[in-house]
Amino acid sequence: MGVVVLVVASARPVSFGWFAYAPVSDTTFTADGVHVFSTATLVGAVVLVVGLLVLAAWLGYRRGARRRG
C-alpha cells in the first residue's frame, strides 16, 4: 500500500510559495537540488517502511517457529 501511495503522490507536482525581499542585492536565489515532498509522499514512505519492518518481523518469527517445531 505504501508503494502505491508513494507512486501516486510523486506523480503529482508539488508547489509552494515563498519569497524574500532583498533591496540591496539584484540577485535571485535559486535552491538547486532542494526537493519538496508533499504530505502524501511522506505518508507513503512511512507506510512503506513500517510495512517492510512488519514483514521482516513476521518472516523472522516464522523462521524461528519452524526451527522449534
The string of pLDDT tens digits covering residues 23-58 is 666 666 666 666 677 788 888 889 999 999 999 999
pTM over 0.85: no
Residues 1 and 49: beta-carbon distance below 8 Å? no
- In a 10 Å sphere around its CB, with 0-12 CB exposed, 13-18 middle and 19+ buried, how is residue 40 labelled? middle
Q: Is 31 left (phi over 0), alpha (psi -120 to 50) or beta?
A: beta
More confident residue, 31 or 12: 12
32/54 Cα distance (integer angstroms): 36
For residue 34, the model assigns a pLDDT of 64
pLDDT in tens, 14-28: 666 666 666 666 666
Choose among 61, 46, 33: nearest CA to 6.
Answer: 46
